[in-house]
A and B are shown apart, each in its own frame.
Chain A
Amino acid sequence: MAQGLVHRILDSDVWWSFRRSKVTMVAATVTAIMILSALFATQLAPQNPFDPGSLLLMDSFTPPVWEEGGSAKYLLGTDSQGRDLFSAILYGARVSLIVGFASVLLAMTIGITLGVIAGYVGGTVDAVIMRIAEVQLSFPTVLVALLINGVARGVLSPERQLNLAIYVLIFSIGLSAWVQFARTVRGSTLVERNKEYVQAARVIGLPPLAIMFRHVLPNVMGPVLVIGTINLAVAILNEATLSFLGIGAPPTQPSLGTLINVGNEYLFSGEWWIALFPGLTLAVLVLAVNLLGDWLRDALNPKLR
């Protein structure tokens, strides 16, 4: 069984096109390394950047190893509190990736559900859902996420804001991104609903919900994967942007964006590494995920073969 699956994967077109594209293989390796090192941040990091006991204030503002005054103890240097930047980046990437994945999952769930319903039920329900989608689509996702975040701030009390910051972040980014999923899924549902297997399911008297989610849904999931990957890059960028603006992940639980925001204050005093290394990590991560998304789109598109 397992061997059959492996064989099927190795024999597939997607695997073939993966092996043919060197750029994609590099991008996949980079993404995998980043996800793994974020997963095992606690084991890999030489220091726990959130344990005040392990921080030495006299080591603050140590430049990276290769610069003058650098120390082998701190590979990429330290920040204003003597925090090892390499460890902070590992922990920060974890927050960024968690928020990224969770918000894409949320957007997917909302988008797919509404898309299938709109496409299958049609009529007024379809019109209402799609008009809402159109209105939201005329605004950039960052702006929508910002607004939702601002409203959440107005509703929550300050101390709960801090505790719930990560969830508010996931909620606002996820809610800002559902439209694309909904539109795609609705389009494919419109095609599927007139096929014979759906008619057959209707004839034997299955309830509409069962038809929608057990029969139509599996057949419209193909393009969702591609949008999901491209959206992961966008979600990570949006998270970093919100955190950079100071309304995302709090300094007690910093993501890559928060680290860049903190480092931004020390740009002019010459400590460029505090902002630059988290920034580079972010850019490489997003670039790798973007490349993977591009490749996946081409590989799954039969027209391009």
Chain B
Amino acid sequence: MIVFVLRRLAQSVLVMFVVAVCAFSLFQYVGDPVNNMVGQETTAEDRDEIRRELGLDQPIVVQFGRFLVNTVQGKFGMSLRNSTPVSRLIAERLPATLELAFVAALFALSIGVPLGVYTGLYREHCASKVLLSLSLVGVSLPTFLTGILLIVIFGVWLGILPTFGRGETVAIGFWRTGLLTWSGLQSLVLPAITLGLFQLTLIMRLVRSEMLEVLRTDYVKFARARGLTNNAVQFGHALKNTLVPVITITGLQLGQLIAFAIITETVFQWPGMGLLFIQAVQFADIPVMATYLVLVAFFFVIINLTVDLLYYAVDPRLRIEAQAKG
């Protein structure tokens, strides 16, 4: 167990290190930070002076070391576009994105798993076939198109849901939440559906195929032979065993949600990190891009690590294998 955890930790550290190198080389090779700070009329001596003050004349390794230390301490530098510290911009935007991703994941799971079980148990039913065809359409619809369709239907034609921004927010400490006000919750509906729809179809298809597989196994047949009720077999025995891959995929999809939030946030003008990142890409605002990269990588690594450890906790077979290996 300890070996397994250590190995996974080492891998995570490696990923973070590579990402840090990428982020650092963004700073190094894309544009000259001194040029970005001073005007046209600054003399070459003044530029060298600034360079020395910023420590840009030191060896690359030293600079990289300082970059690492700063990053770990949460000092990400200044945004080139609106000259505020990047850490403040991120802190303002992070809650919006996390709330959106969380609600979208909840939506995808709470509807995707039951639909998957249903289509797996009653695969010959008409409704299952319709759901399955619909899910293929869902996979082919790009996120932004789903968003636009929802805006047209619920925002423009029916006019019952807001299609723009976060609504009213309440501050709890530094965290501004939209989950506690009516308009905040209303504003969350369309973006969350847009973001979660793709994941929903994915989870549904996954649960369905896992259910089909498990229902064919001997222990399910044996459980039926013992005369257990349908419910006990289907939910106590079959569903439980389909959950391992579902946990993995859902965990990995959580990372996807944060990335796809970029698109959803653009469509709905949701003031989250994704919108910040898109604006940074448009204006080649390197500090914001690099910070976003590091932060998202951090999320991904944490999620992947948790998923692997959960996997280990849920599936006893893995533990036995590890013990057999020593």
- Contact of B148 with A by CB under 8 A: yes
CA distance A140 to B253 in the complex (A): 10
A153-B281 contact given A140-B256, A272-B152, CB 8 Å threshold: yes
Write out, one digit per residue, whether chain A residues 274-288 have a CB within 8 A of any chain B CB (1) or not (0): 011001001100110
Nearest neighbor of A156 in chain B, beta-carbon distance: B284
Write out, one digit per residue, whether chain A residues 42-75 have a CB within 8 A of any chain B CB (1) or not (0): 0000000000000000000000000000000000
Contact of B260 among A138, A142, A147 (CB under 8 A): A142
Can you report 17 residue pairs joining A to B where beta carbons are below 8 Å apart?
A131-B14, A138-B255, A138-B300, A139-B255, A142-B262, A143-B259, A143-B296, A146-B262, A149-B281, A151-B30, A153-B284, A244-B142, A244-B263, A260-B148, A267-B156, A283-B140, A290-B136
Find residues 246-292 in chain B having any chain A CB closer than 8 Å to their own CB. Answer: 255-256, 259-260, 262-263, 266-267, 277-278, 280-282, 284, 286, 289
- Contact of A80 with B by CB under 8 A: no
Segment of A98-106, A109-117, A202-210, A233-241 in the binding face: A233-241
- Contact of B297 with A by CB under 8 A: yes
Q: Is the CB of B145 within 8 A of A282?
A: yes
CA distance A140 to B145 in the complex (A): 19
Nearest neighbor of A138 in chain B, beta-carbon distance: B300
Write out, one digit per residue, whether chain A residues 211-254 have a CB within 8 A of any chain B CB (1) or not (0): 00000000000000000000001000100110011110000000
- Contact of B293 with A by CB under 8 A: yes
- Contact of A135 with B by CB under 8 A: yes
Q: Is the CB of A245 within 8 A of B136?
A: no
Nearest neighbor of B30 in chain A, beta-carbon distance: A154
Residues of A within 8 A of B143 (CB): 241
Contact of B259 among A140, A149, A246 (CB under 8 A): A140
Q: Is the CB of A138 within 8 A of B145?
A: no
Q: Is the CB of A272 within 8 A of B156?
A: yes
The majority secondary structure among interface residues of chain B is: helix
Q: Is the CB of A150 within 8 A of B256?
A: no
CA distance A51 to B137 in the complex (A): 36
CA distance A146 to B276 in the complex (A): 13
- Contact of A155 with B by CB under 8 A: yes
Q: Is the CB of B284 within 8 A of A154?
A: yes
- Contact of B301 with A by CB under 8 A: yes
Residues of A within 8 A of B26 (CB): 151, 154
**Which A residues form the contact surface with B (CB < 8 A)?**
131-132, 134-135, 138-140, 142-143, 146-147, 149-151, 153-155, 233, 237, 240-241, 244-247, 260, 264, 267-268, 270, 272, 275-276, 279, 282-283, 286-287, 290-291
A240-B142 contact given A138-B301, A153-B284, CB 8 Å threshold: yes
- Contact of B304 with A by CB under 8 A: yes
Which are the 10 A-B pairs with shortest beta-carbon distances?
A150-B281, A154-B30, A287-B140, A154-B284, A140-B259, A143-B259, A286-B140, A153-B284, A279-B145, A244-B144
A276-B262 contact given A139-B297, A246-B282, CB 8 Å threshold: no
Write out, one digit per residue, whether chain B residues 66-92 have a CB within 8 A of any chain A CB (1) or not (0): 000000000000000000000000000
Tally of contact residues, B, Cβ under 8 A: 44
Q: Is the CB of A247 within 8 A of B282?
A: yes
Residues of A within 8 A of B136 (CB): 287, 290-291
- Contact of B245 with A by CB under 8 A: no
CA distance A75 to B253 in the complex (A): 41
CA distance A139 to B137 in the complex (A): 24
Instruction: State how many angstroms separate the Cβ of B10 from the closest Cβ of chain A.
Output: 12
Q: Is the CB of A237 within 8 A of B142?
A: yes
Residues of A within 8 A of B313 (CB): none
Contact of A290 among B139, B155, B284 (CB under 8 A): B139
Q: Is the CB of A142 within 8 A of B137?
A: no
A282-B266 contact given A139-B259, A276-B152, A287-B137, CB 8 Å threshold: no
Residues of A within 8 A of B304 (CB): 138
Nearest neighbor of B137 in chain A, beta-carbon distance: A287
Residues of A within 8 A of B293 (CB): 147
Find residues 277-326 in chain B having any chain A CB closer than 8 Å to their own CB. Answer: 277-278, 280-282, 284, 286, 289, 293, 296-297, 300-301, 304
Residues of B within 8 A of A245 (CB): 262-263, 266, 278, 281
Instruction: State how many angstroms separate the Cβ of A160 from the closest Cβ of chain B.
Output: 13
Instruction: State how many angstroms separate the Cβ of A130 from the closest Cβ of chain B.
Output: 12
Nearest neighbor of A285 in chain B, beta-carbon distance: B140
A155-B30 contact given A139-B297, A245-B278, A290-B140, CB 8 Å threshold: yes
Residues of A within 8 A of B55 (CB): none
Residues of A within 8 A of B260 (CB): 140, 142
Contact of B148 among A147, A149, A247, A275 (CB under 8 A): A275
CA distance A282 to B140 in the complex (A): 9
Nearest neighbor of A275 in chain B, beta-carbon distance: B148
CA distance A45 to B286 in the complex (A): 42
Instruction: State how many angstroms separate the Cβ of B216 from the closest Cβ of chain A.
Output: 15
